[in-house]
Structure 1
Amino acid sequence: MNELVNKWYRNHALIYKLLLLLGTTFFIVYLFPKTGKFRYSFEKGKPWQSENLYAPFDFAIKKSKAQSDEEVKRITDNNELYFEVDLKIKTSAINRYLEEFNTIFEDSITGFENRLVLYNQGQKALEDIYKYGVLNSVYNYDENRQIILIENNKQKSKIQFKDLFAQTDIRPYLQGVLRQNNLQEYESDFVSLFFNIIEPNVGFNKSLTDKVLEERLSTISPTRGLVSEGTLIISKGQVVEDNQFNILDSLKSEYESQVWSSSNYNWVIMAYTLLVALALLMLLLFLRKYRSDVFLNNTKVTFIFFNIVVMVVLTTIVTNYNSQYLYVVPLCILPLVLKAFFDARLGLFAHVLTVLLLGFIVPNSYEYMFLQIIAGIVTILTVSELYKRANLFISVGQITLIYIIAYFAFFVIHEGQISNIKWETFGLFILGGLATLFVQPLIYIYEKLFGLVSDVSLLELSDTNTKLLKELSNKAPGTFHHSLNVANLAEASANEIGANAMLARVGALYHDIGKMKNPTFFTENQSTGINPHDELSSKESASVIIDHVINGIEIAKKNNLPDRVIDFIRTHHGTSMVYYFYKTELAVNEFAKEEDFSYPGPKPFSRETAILMMCDSVEAASKSLKSPTSTKINEFVENIINKQVEMGQFLNADITFKDIESIKRVLKLKLANIYHLRIEYPE
């Protein structure tokens, strides 16, 4: 039992990764749509590349969107309009007519004959106006549009819209009546009479009209025919015309609308699980082979898987809500984040795997995957220094432009024209680009949650006004000056070989903070001429010197410096010796042990930590140069670095001989500039 427990404990990291793989796989598969998947891809106007396709079952042919829209428009345009008539208003107007007429037109004024004609024509006009009714508002309908009048909740008659009187039609109509009877002189009073008594009595019944329209629209059939099982749909090499395209699209919709049945549910789940697990396994194998430091860190592996799951969840939510907004999801945040915390190659690899997984979820999967992979490549190639805000804005602009260009190309390929292009999609790409800017605060959140460090944090740490560096400059000013010089050398060397210059600079600034504990034991801080090593034995002196590494690690952890920076403190001397005190001890004790005078290590295990070891040794030893010349400097740099190579200090670092030669060249040039001779100015 104990042996089993010990075995589990020894392999707990591997077991955790296995559980993480399985948990992530099942969660992603759970998000996948529970419908069938059409296994053929096709495009209108392109040849059918697969074998002859026969109908696997009976299915209906869906109407195209254009056909459905045309039918809806036809029914909507021909739908009858319902107007409601208020008969009480008509009765009231007729009753008031006689009373108002007698008041305005008296015999003494108009004469009996004219008065009688006016009265009769007015009564006839009133009947004509209220024959169907007067509209209560302005309606912009075609004059020949058929309408139905409703009186007392019962259908009265079907008429044309032009048969109703608009309020603006009353004055011209009355003027025409008076003109026909040569009574124009009474126009003002006659028109005023009618405007006093006439009130609108016909109004549009929108609820009833909409209800009837809805009933008619509901009768529209979404299909226009049936394909029987075994019918040849399309032959290999045949061009996909409109008719075949509609049939194929109908068959595809039929597949995707079929929910997994209990008979094949388990098989489909197993198939999806295998594919997702295979993709995630490729990521773990990539980490194990090419990023072993990341693979061995369970927190970092969890962080990578977490980001992939977040992108899958966001895409699933948007797709289920409305796939039209699919490109608002800022998928390029994934490679940006992974590049910020790790490197570009890992970021692109994880991005491609994520896009492949999303191909199971999104519509038009080929188009989607092409766009997202191209955008991911552009993201990796354009964003070099994320801590510079201008770089991020420029990169987001380039990513958005790539989206727009690729989408435009796909649209032209599919449609063969640009007249009906959906310009609002370009706005969605812009929104997605703006959402990508959220990567800056997201990186800060991730740093706090997962204890990681990015170039943004490194930029903050490089500020010499930080509390720790100010303390170093106060307690050990010589060491602080030495660290600044090493930082400049390391940054230049890292830029020369394409390493992380910001990381190398920050590591150099903090690599000797352990000297704050006993600053006067280091020559650069001895300003009084008193050397405390004179009071100690060689072995004790070596112990004090070596301890500055351990002290530095303790101070760094106490001040919450990131592990990536602490690595520089731990490795900047590797397993080298405090050679001066070893030789001193050897002079009095021939049995002196080398391990008593050697740093505990480890050796540098990255290009940046290897750069620091070289720059630190060269800068510290350069103080001993007397009358430096170009030849002396070159030999000096060659000897120090060649000795480190011979001692195997760089065996664990991912650095080549070509890189080392480039670093030598930079150091020689920098030291030559530092120690250049000036002319002697006259007094």
Structure 2
Amino acid sequence: MTELINKWYKNHALVYKILLLLGTTFFIVYLFPKTGKFRYSFEKGKPWQSESLLAPFDFAIKKSENQLKEETENITKNSTVYFETDSDIEAKVKNNYLPKFNEIFIDSVVGFEERKALFSSGKKALDDFYEYGILNSIYNYDDDKEVAIVENNVEKEKVRFKDLTSQNEIRPYLESIIIKNNLKNYKDDFISLFFDLVEPNLSYNKSLTEKTLKENLANISPTRGVVSTGTLIISKGQVVEDKQYAVLNSLKSEYESQVWTSNNYNWVIVAYTLLVSLTLLMLLLFLRKYREDVFLNNTKVTFIFFNIVSMILLTTIVIGYDSQYLYVVPLCILPLVLKAFFDARLGLFAHVLTVLLLGFIVPNSYEYMFLQIIAGIVTILTVSELYKRANLFISVGQITLIYIIAYFAFFVIHEGQITTINWGTFGLFVLCGLATLFVQPLIYIYEKLFGLVSDVSLLELSDTNTKLLKELSNKAPGTFHHSLNVANLAEAAANEIGANAMLIRVGALYHDIGKMKNPTFFTENQSTGLNPHDELSASESKDVIIDHVIDGIEIAKKNNLPDRVIDFIRTHHGTSTVYYFYMKEKAANDEVKEEDFSYPGPRPFSKETAILMMCDSVEAASKSLKEPTSTKINNFVETIISKQVESGQFLNADITLKDIESIKKVLKLKLANIYHLRIEYPE
């Protein structure tokens, strides 16, 4: 049991990475769509590029949305409308007609013939009005609309809507009767009689009408025919015309609508898991081979995985809401963030892997992946010095432009013309660009959550008015001045070979903060001419000198300096020897070992830390030059750096001999400018 626990403890970092890989894989697979995926791409009017396609199973040919919409509109238009009739109202009105008529048209006032004509005209009008019924309200239907009249939920007959009488038709009809029978003198009384007498007896039956319409719509068939297994759908090179397009769309829809069943669910899960885990494993292997310092830091590995999962989650949410907003997702934030905290190569690699994973869930995956990979490359190439706001705005503008150009090119390739292009998509790219600007506050949030450091933080640390640097300038002014000189030399050298100039400048400013503990033991701070080392043995002096590295690390951690800056403190002397005190001790004791007078290391393990080591040694030793000339400076720089190379100080750093020669050239030029060397003219 103890052996197992010890084994676990020794390999806990690797175990954590395995668990992180598995957890991330399962979460991403969970986000993937639970449907099949059609593996062919096709367009109407374009040749079929794949091999001849046979129907893999029986499937129905689905009607297009326009066809279904047209059928729905026709059924809605022609569906029967139901009106409920009340026969009691008709009987009541007709029974009341004679008494009402006699009240108005009295024998002593109206002549017999006129009275007879008025009565018969009124009776005929009632028969006409109630032949199919009088509507209780105004309804907007076409005259030829089919109407069913029901009584007690039993259909009596079907007529056209124009056969029903609306209340606003009663008066014109009565007026026509009066004129036809030459009874104008009785017009007002006759019309008044009917308005007092007539009542509507037809009311709209909403429930029955809607029920019938719903049943008719439910009977619409979404398909029109069936394709049998093995039927040739389309041959290679054949143009995709309307008929083939409809069949291919139906087959594609069939694939995408197939929810994973119990029979294939496990296999699909296994397949997705293998692909996702393989992709994430490539990322871990990349870190292991090319970014070992990142690989060994579980926090940084977690940070990278977190960003990848966040982008996949955000894209999945947007697709679930509406896939047309897919290009609003600011995917280029991923390489921007990773470049800010690590480097461009890692940022691009992670971006490409993320785009490959998103290819499983996005529509038009090839087009999407092409656009996003190109945009990621442009992001890496254009965004430099992220702490400068103008650079970010310019880069985001370039990224947006690349999106628009690439999308426009794809559209022209697909459609062959631009008249039908959706210009609103360009607006989505602009929104994506604006969303990318959120990277600045996001970097700040990540710094606080994960304890990382970006160029923005480095810019803040480079301010010489920070508390720690002001303390250094007060306690060890000579060391502070030395650090400024080293920072200037190192920054120039970094720019020459393409290293991180901001990082190396900050590292140079803080690399000697350990000298604050015993400032007078270092020559640059001995302004009185007294040397405390005169009272110490060579071994004791060596300990004081070497301890400034350890003291610097402690002070840096106490003041919460980032690890990337502490690395400069830890490595700026590598495993070099405190040569002066070593020779002094050797003069008294021949058995002294050189390693006892060497710094504990580690050696520089990056371009930046290697540059600092060179610049620090050259700047410090340059103070001993007497009557410097160009020749002396050249030999001086060559001697110091060559000795460092020969002692293997740069074996762990990714720096080439060409880079070292470029750095030498910069240091020689800078030192010549510092000492104001002039061409020596003959007397």
With over 3 angstroms needed to count, the CA separation of the structure-2 counterparts of 1:205 and 1:646, relative to structure 1, is farther
Give me the whole-angstrom Cα distance separating, in 1, the residues matched to 2:173 and 2:76: 32
Alignment-derived partner of residue 593 in structure 2: 593
Greater CA drift, 72-81 or 621-630: 72-81
With over 3 angstroms needed to count, the CA separation of the structure-2 counterparts of 1:633 and 1:229, relative to structure 1, is same
- 1:328 aligned to 2:301? no
Alignment-derived partner of residue 243 in structure 2: 243
Q: Secondary structure at the match of 2:15?
A: helix
With over 3 angstroms needed to count, the CA separation of the structure-2 counterparts of 1:30 and 1:227, relative to structure 1, is same
How far the C-alpha of 1:365 sits from its partner, in A, is 1.9
- Map 1:528-539 → 2, pairs under 5 A: 528-539=528-539
Alignment-derived partner of residue 54 in structure 1: 54
Q: Secondary structure at the match of 1:626?
A: coil
How far the C-alpha of 1:146 sits from its partner, in A, is 7.7
Give me the whole-angstrom Cα distance separating, in 2, the residues matched to 1:515 and 1:164: 107
Give me the whole-angstrom Cα distance separating, in 2, the residues matched to 1:308 and 1:159: 66
Alignment-derived partner of residue 638 in structure 1: 638
- Map 1:430-445 → 2, pairs under 5 A: 430-445=430-445
Give me the whole-angstrom Cα distance separating, in 1, the residues matched to 2:177 and 2:486: 106
Is 1:31–1:316's contact at 8 Å kept on the other side of the alignment?
A: yes
Alignment-derived partner of residue 395 in structure 1: 395
Q: Secondary structure at the match of 1:13?
A: helix
Alignment-derived partner of residue 226 in structure 2: 226
With over 3 angstroms needed to count, the CA separation of the structure-2 counterparts of 1:600 and 1:208, relative to structure 1, is farther
Structure 2: 5+ residue stretches without partners: 88-120, 181-199
- Map 1:224-373 → 2, pairs under 5 A: 224-373=224-373
Is 1:135–1:164's contact at 8 Å kept on the other side of the alignment?
A: no
Per-residue deviation, residues 30-64 of structure 1 (Å, max 9, x unmatched):
33223223333333333333333222222111112
How far the C-alpha of 1:616 sits from its partner, in A, is 1.0
How far the C-alpha of 1:445 sits from its partner, in A, is 2.2
Give me the whole-angstrom Cα distance separating, in 2, the residues matched to 1:160 and 1:648: 102
Amino acid at match of 2:453: V
Alignment-derived partner of residue 375 in structure 1: 375
* TM-score in terms of structure 2 length: 0.82
- 1:35 aligned to 2:35? yes
- Map 1:178-189 → 2, pairs under 5 A: none
- 1:662 aligned to 2:662? yes
Is 2:135–2:164's contact at 8 Å kept on the other side of the alignment?
A: no
* TM-score in terms of structure 1 length: 0.82
Amino acid at match of 1:392: L
- Map 1:55-94 → 2, pairs under 5 A: 55-75=55-75
Per-residue deviation, residues 473-508 of structure 1 (Å, max 9, x unmatched):
121122112111211111111111111111111111
With over 3 angstroms needed to count, the CA separation of the structure-2 counterparts of 1:154 and 1:7, relative to structure 1, is same
Give me the whole-angstrom Cα distance separating, in 1, the residues matched to 2:143 and 2:174: 21
How far the C-alpha of 1:511 sits from its partner, in A, is 0.5
With over 3 angstroms needed to count, the CA separation of the structure-2 counterparts of 1:592 and 1:51, relative to structure 1, is same
With over 3 angstroms needed to count, the CA separation of the structure-2 counterparts of 1:663 and 1:175, relative to structure 1, is farther
With over 3 angstroms needed to count, the CA separation of the structure-2 counterparts of 1:78 and 1:374, relative to structure 1, is farther
Amino acid at match of 2:561: L
Give me the whole-angstrom Cα distance separating, in 1, the residues matched to 2:350 and 2:2: 39
Give me the whole-angstrom Cα distance separating, in 1, the residues matched to 2:125 and 2:675: 114
Q: Secondary structure at the match of 2:561?
A: coil
Amino acid at match of 2:312: V
Give me the whole-angstrom Cα distance separating, in 2, the residues matched to 1:2 and 1:339: 43
Q: Secondary structure at the match of 1:60?
A: strand
Give me the whole-angstrom Cα distance separating, in 1, the residues matched to 2:284 and 2:370: 24
Amino acid at match of 2:665: R
Is 2:618–2:637's contact at 8 Å kept on the other side of the alignment?
A: yes
With over 3 angstroms needed to count, the CA separation of the structure-2 counterparts of 1:134 and 1:255, relative to structure 1, is closer
How far the C-alpha of 1:142 sits from its partner, in A, is 7.9
Is 1:44–1:414's contact at 8 Å kept on the other side of the alignment?
A: no
Amino acid at match of 1:501: A
Give me the whole-angstrom Cα distance separating, in 2, the residues matched to 1:81 and 1:435: 53
With over 3 angstroms needed to count, the CA separation of the structure-2 counterparts of 1:233 and 1:541, relative to structure 1, is same
Amino acid at match of 2:488: N
Amino acid at match of 1:227: V
How far the C-alpha of 1:323 sits from its partner, in A, is 2.4
Alignment-derived partner of residue 20 in structure 1: 20
Alignment-derived partner of residue 609 in structure 1: 609
Q: Secondary structure at the match of 1:263?
A: coil
With over 3 angstroms needed to count, the CA separation of the structure-2 counterparts of 1:468 and 1:138, relative to structure 1, is farther
Q: Secondary structure at the match of 1:426?
A: helix
Aligned residues: 673
Q: Secondary structure at the match of 1:367?
A: helix
Is 2:582–2:597's contact at 8 Å kept on the other side of the alignment?
A: yes
With over 3 angstroms needed to count, the CA separation of the structure-2 counterparts of 1:591 and 1:410, relative to structure 1, is same
Q: Secondary structure at the match of 2:264?
A: helix
How far the C-alpha of 1:678 sits from its partner, in A, is 8.8
With over 3 angstroms needed to count, the CA separation of the structure-2 counterparts of 1:162 and 1:564, relative to structure 1, is farther
Give me the whole-angstrom Cα distance separating, in 2, the residues matched to 1:533 and 1:463: 33
How far the C-alpha of 1:442 sits from its partner, in A, is 2.1
Per-residue deviation, residues 63-115 of structure 1 (Å, max 9, x unmatched):
1233333434444566678899999xxxxxxxxxxxxxxxxxxxxxxxxxxxx
Amino acid at match of 1:29: V
How far the C-alpha of 1:214 sits from its partner, in A, is 5.2
- Map 1:69-148 → 2, pairs under 5 A: 69-75=69-75
Give me the whole-angstrom Cα distance separating, in 2, the residues matched to 1:160 and 1:502: 84
How far the C-alpha of 1:603 sits from its partner, in A, is 0.7
Alignment-derived partner of residue 557 in structure 2: 557
Give me the whole-angstrom Cα distance separating, in 2, the residues matched to 1:376 and 1:444: 21
Give me the whole-angstrom Cα distance separating, in 1, the residues matched to 2:210 and 2:446: 54
With over 3 angstroms needed to count, the CA separation of the structure-2 counterparts of 1:230 and 1:392, relative to structure 1, is same
With over 3 angstroms needed to count, the CA separation of the structure-2 counterparts of 1:271 and 1:536, relative to structure 1, is same
Give me the whole-angstrom Cα distance separating, in 1, the residues matched to 2:674 and 2:125: 110
Amino acid at match of 2:506: V
Q: Secondary structure at the match of 2:60?
A: strand
Alignment-derived partner of residue 507 in structure 1: 507
Q: Secondary structure at the match of 1:262?
A: coil
Alignment-derived partner of residue 186 in structure 1: none
Is 1:147–1:161's contact at 8 Å kept on the other side of the alignment?
A: no
Give me the whole-angstrom Cα distance separating, in 1, the residues matched to 2:488 and 2:143: 85
Give me the whole-angstrom Cα distance separating, in 2, the residues matched to 1:17 and 1:497: 34
Give me the whole-angstrom Cα distance separating, in 1, the residues matched to 2:434 and 2:152: 59
How far the C-alpha of 1:275 sits from its partner, in A, is 1.6
Alignment-derived partner of residue 90 in structure 1: none
With over 3 angstroms needed to count, the CA separation of the structure-2 counterparts of 1:310 and 1:676, relative to structure 1, is same
Is 1:146–1:161's contact at 8 Å kept on the other side of the alignment?
A: no
Is 2:143–2:160's contact at 8 Å kept on the other side of the alignment?
A: no
Give me the whole-angstrom Cα distance separating, in 1, the residues matched to 2:128 and 2:554: 103
With over 3 angstroms needed to count, the CA separation of the structure-2 counterparts of 1:673 and 1:166, relative to structure 1, is farther
- Map 1:417-566 → 2, pairs under 5 A: 417-566=417-566
How far the C-alpha of 1:554 sits from its partner, in A, is 0.0
Give me the whole-angstrom Cα distance separating, in 2, the residues matched to 1:490 and 1:178: 113
Give me the whole-angstrom Cα distance separating, in 1, the residues matched to 2:603 and 2:644: 11
How far the C-alpha of 1:521 sits from its partner, in A, is 1.5
With over 3 angstroms needed to count, the CA separation of the structure-2 counterparts of 1:674 and 1:82, relative to structure 1, is farther
Aligned-pair identity (%)? 81
Q: CA RMSD in A?
A: 4.6
How far the C-alpha of 1:557 sits from its partner, in A, is 0.5
Greater CA drift, 621-630 or 70-79: 70-79
Is 1:144–1:162's contact at 8 Å kept on the other side of the alignment?
A: no
How far the C-alpha of 1:604 sits from its partner, in A, is 0.5
Amino acid at match of 2:507: G
Is 2:630–2:677's contact at 8 Å kept on the other side of the alignment?
A: no
Give me the whole-angstrom Cα distance separating, in 2, the residues matched to 1:10 and 1:571: 26
Per-residue deviation, residues 582-623 of structure 1 (Å, max 9, x unmatched):
233333333333223221111100000001111111111222
Greater CA drift, 478-487 or 444-453: 444-453
Is 2:134–2:165's contact at 8 Å kept on the other side of the alignment?
A: yes
- Map 1:199-214 → 2, pairs under 5 A: none
Alignment-derived partner of residue 107 in structure 1: none
With over 3 angstroms needed to count, the CA separation of the structure-2 counterparts of 1:236 and 1:589, relative to structure 1, is same
Amino acid at match of 1:317: I
